[in-house]
A = this chain, B = another copy of it.
């Protein structure tokens, strides 16, 4: 029996023009928040899908106010993604109980990812945004092997403890030959609600010099504001709930830069 090169299995997703993967080295840096708001901001450039591939902690159903919803299956056994705020959405969270621990082993993950790409009726889409799990594990490898990703976006917070993990994600994308559009610096600072002075929630590490040395772009700095996480909790992302806020504008800047990057 000959061993197949896993990259030879790579094939486009039917009817999907551009695939953008949102990744992070560690969790809790706002990756899903970025993925959701990026997807919403991309609507002005075409049709958008959002795949929540964060198999261990799918946050997208809650962030889009779609918990306890179930996707339909059509007569050809295709899964019909849900529609929220004008985008198509699919999440492992629609398939499993919110409180249950999903203890997936590698091979099961590969199979699940495949179903998300092949058995979900995404077409036609201009952009599919994929919210990856944090870190550098099996899902990310699987993604690199299965579909042609046009751009990876790495989300990090400013401090070095977060940056060291972001570097690993960058390393992984380089090794798997996925093009990196750049880095999003999230929770960059907070404006004091009284004085409007900047509060540096997390100390600024070596992020800028690192990006320069790697010839990587900082796509945008997104400030922290309690209404961003409030929007995620309430199921109305900030791009929708506070369209004129600084944070919302930052997401639109990000969308514009990605549109340009993927061409």
Contacts and interface: CB of A to CB of B under 8 A. Distances in A.
Interface of A: 25-29, 32, 56-57, 59, 62-63, 98-106, 134-138, 141, 157, 159-162, 164-165, 167-169, 171-172, 175, 192-195, 199-203, 205, 224, 226, 229-230, 232-233
Contacts of A103: 136-137, 141, 172
Contact of A102 (B62, B136, B157, B230): B136
Given A101-B169, A169-B101, A171-B99, A25 B57 contact: yes
Contacts of A205: 233
Given A26-B57, A28-B29, A161 B229 contact: yes
The binding surface of chain A is classed by DSSP as loop
B99 A62 contact: no
B56 A232 contact: no
Contact of A229 (B99, B136, B159, B230): B159
A49 B32 CA distance: 34
The 7 closest A-B pairs by CB, nearest first: A28-B28, A27-B27, A101-B172, A101-B136, A101-B168, A56-B135, A57-B165
Interface centre among A101, A165, A169 (most CB of B within 10 A): A101
Nearest to A232: B161
A230 B201 contact: no
Contact of A226 (B32, B104, B195, B200): B200
A193 B199 contact: yes
Nearest to A205: B233
